[in-house]
Amino acid sequence: MKQKQTTLLAIIVTVVLILAGCGTTNEATTNSKLKVVTTFYPMYDFTKQVVGAKGEVSLLIEAGVEPHDYEPSAKDIATITEADVFVYNSAYFETWVPKVIENIDTTKTTVIDASKGITLKDFTAAEEAAHSHEHADEEAHDHEDGETHDHKAETDADKNPHVWLDPVLAQQQVKTIAEGIAQHDEKNATTYQENAETYQQKLAILDQQYTDAFAHVSQKTFVTSHAAFGYLANRYGIKQLPIAGLSPDAEPSPKEMAKIKTFVKANKINIIYFEALTSPKLAETLATETGAKTVELSPLEGLSEEQQASDLDYIKVMENNLTALQKSIK
């Protein structure tokens, strides 16, 4: 972990020096369309809906890349530095962002934390159990490398950042993004606000679809490979039981896996959910041992190029997620 931080700092220093030597200036707002850089897919889609035809919105983390594993390259940092606006979800998700924005000119590049104003939640008991094991793995790895790991300091800072999966909180993120962009480009502020309101209405319809679907259900628990759906579950009165923690690469201990297996059998849960960007191994193993089957449930952390080319977007994927969840929550 320390090695990653050192590498990132070295990249930032290099980029800053290169840009300073080139005398880079940002005249995009006056000479061309607004240039907006976003981190991963939901931020990209929300921002694109707000900006409309008034700017160019780009995606920093490429299609198919797991955002939890991403570290920015020198080219990525230069792209952020040269943008008019930079949009990210939260420092608890894009953990590399605080170090980057410390070293860019925020009078030139407007930085928007889309989760600003949203109270991020601590883990639920099930998430905490999976996450504790995840930290134990990290700690053991750091010790093998001869590095120290301040587990307490990291745990104190841990919050669940997956707010975009709650359609109501997604509306708040869209509002925050629109306000930040409007502040940067005041002459088009009305357009940004109108675009945001139009999209928020679509998100409100999505929220109503979820509300109606789960208004009267008896089996409320769904089992997923990744603890990403806490906000969504809390919003609609259902419960997620994650196999892993907030990082989809984490693995539960044998004891934790046995508890989940027992729960699945006792409650006759017939679906184990997996996600496309990470290995389905855990979900498949649990399904095989319990007689369940696997179904994809997208945390929307990234869409493949093929998915985007087929006109999938945030709302369509969330509608697909609703259909998938209704297979086990009845």
Side-chain half-sphere exposure of 280, counting CA atoms within 13 A = 14
Confidence bin at 168 (pLDDT 50/70/90): very high
Highest mean pLDDT among 4-13, 140-149, 291-300: 291-300
The counts of H helices and E strands in the chain are 14, 8
At residue 294, does pLDDT exceed 90?
Answer: yes
3-state helix, strand and coil shares in percent for the chain, rounded to the nearest 5: 55, 10, 35
Mean pLDDT on 110-120: 97
Task: Give the per-residue pLDDT at 28.
Answer: 43
Lowest mean pLDDT among 70-84, 132-146, 284-298: 132-146
Q: Which of 216, 137, 210 is nearest to 171 (CA)?
A: 210
At residue 135, does pLDDT exceed 50?
Answer: no
Confidence bin at 125 (pLDDT 50/70/90): low
Question: 125-139+216-325: same fold as 29-114+162-203?
Answer: yes
Confidence bin at 87 (pLDDT 50/70/90): very high
Over residues 185-215, the pLDDT tens digits come to 999 999 999 999 999 999 999 999 999 999 9
Percent of the chain's residues with pLDDT above 70:
78
Task: Give the per-residue pLDDT at 10.
Answer: 53
At residue 180, does pLDDT exceed 70?
Answer: yes
Residue 124 burial (CB count, 10 A): 19
C-alpha to C-alpha distances, 167 to 163, 268, 291, nearest whole angstrom = 9, 29, 32
Q: In what order do the strands lie in the sheet with 239-242?
A: 239-242, 221-224, 271-274, 293-296
Task: Give the per-residue pLDDT at 256.
Answer: 87
Beta bridge partners of 23: none
At residue 150, does pLDDT exceed 80?
Answer: no
Percent of the chain's residues with pLDDT above 90:
65
Over residues 14-35, the pLDDT tens digits come to 555 455 445 444 444 445 789 9
Task: Give the per-residue pLDDT at 128.
Answer: 56
Confidence bin at 253 (pLDDT 50/70/90): confident
Task: Give the per-residue pLDDT at 254.
Answer: 87
Q: Where are the domains of the chain?
A: 29-114+162-203, 125-139+216-325
- The tokens describing 41, both together, are 């897919």
Task: Give the per-residue pLDDT at 134.
Answer: 43
Fold of 29-114+162-203: Rossmann fold (3.40.50)
Q: Integer distance in angstroms from the first to the last C-alpha of the chain?
A: 43
Lowest mean pLDDT among 44-53, 61-70, 103-112, 280-289: 61-70
Mean pLDDT on 114-129: 79
Residues 83 and 38: their CA atoms lie apart, in Å, by 10
- What single letter denotes the amino acid at residue 179? E
At residue 124, does pLDDT exceed 60?
Answer: yes
Mean pLDDT on 53-81: 92
- Architecture of domain 125-139+216-325 in CATH? 3-Layer(aba) Sandwich (3.40)
C-alpha to C-alpha distances, 5 to 12, 229, 278, nearest whole angstrom = 11, 28, 24
At residue 151, does pLDDT exceed 70?
Answer: no
Task: Give the per-residue pLDDT at 5.
Answer: 55
At residue 161, does pLDDT exceed 90?
Answer: yes
Which run of H or of E encompasses 262? Answer: helix 254-266
Task: Give the per-residue pLDDT at 252.
Answer: 82
